[in-house]
A and B are shown apart, each in its own frame.
Chain A
Amino acid sequence: DGGITQSPKYLFRKEGQNVTLSCEQNLNHDAMYWYRQDPGQGLRLIYYSQIVNDFQKGDIAEGYSVSREKKESFPLTVTSAQKNPTAFYLCASSMGTEGLDTQYFGPGTRLTVL
């Protein structure tokens, strides 16, 4: 089955530690995205990548970093510089990045900083 997988489902981190969230897709999509969801809010774009070896900052990139070394993979690192990292993180992908290209989402990773 084609789809997007994110791991782990739940992640706990101590303050001051970096942590990496995994996102893999087998849809052969060129574009991938990371969003953050906080209670009672819509999704906010952290980073996106339109093609391998290229990525761009979204609206709330501070304290996060990404890489896109393979088409299928777009890992997100939450660094210790992120002031309020506890949230639900969603990865998405789309065939391209034009307005008509639908984004498909993974199941999400819930990160809690202790």
Chain B
Amino acid sequence: GNSVTQMEGPVTLSEEAFLTINCTYTATGYPSLFWYVQYPGEGLQLLLKATKADDKGSNKGFEATYRKETTSFHLEKGSVQVSDSAVYFCALSPNTGFQKLVFGTGTRLLVSP
């Protein structure tokens, strides 16, 4: 079946540090991949997505590249800010049939000044 594995948190960084949150997946076929962000007490917001191998999704300084050979979609940002503190969810969706999102367990990021 389809599944997503994320690194456990919390990830604690100082402002302006480099961020990597690892995400690997198991899926049949070629899924679409997503990163969602959840700020405290709020719903999920789509951060970025990639729909095929070697695609790079980017938004607000965050990037992730769809790596089919390593079944990975790691999230990166060159310089984090305090306002980036949130929970980040990696998710996949099969590209055929019903679009059932399968989520990872989330990784909490804490950025200190």
Interface residue ranges, A against B (CB under 8 Å): 4, 6, 31, 40-43, 45, 50, 58, 90, 92, 94, 96-108
Majority secondary structure of chain B interface residues (helix, strand, loop or mixed): loop
CB–CB B45/A105 < 8 A: yes
CB–CB A40/B105 < 8 A: yes
Kindly state the separation between the CA atoms of A105 and B103 in the bound complex, as whole angstroms: 14
Majority secondary structure of chain A interface residues (helix, strand, loop or mixed): loop
Interface band, chain B: 20 to 34
Kindly state the separation between the CA atoms of A99 and B93 in the bound complex, as whole angstroms: 6
Interface residue ranges, B against A (CB under 8 Å): 4, 31-32, 34, 36, 41-46, 49, 51, 89, 91, 93-101, 103-106
Known contacts A42-B105, A43-B101, A100-B51; A90 and B31 CB within 8 A of each other: no
**Least Cβ distance of A13 to chain B in Å?**
19
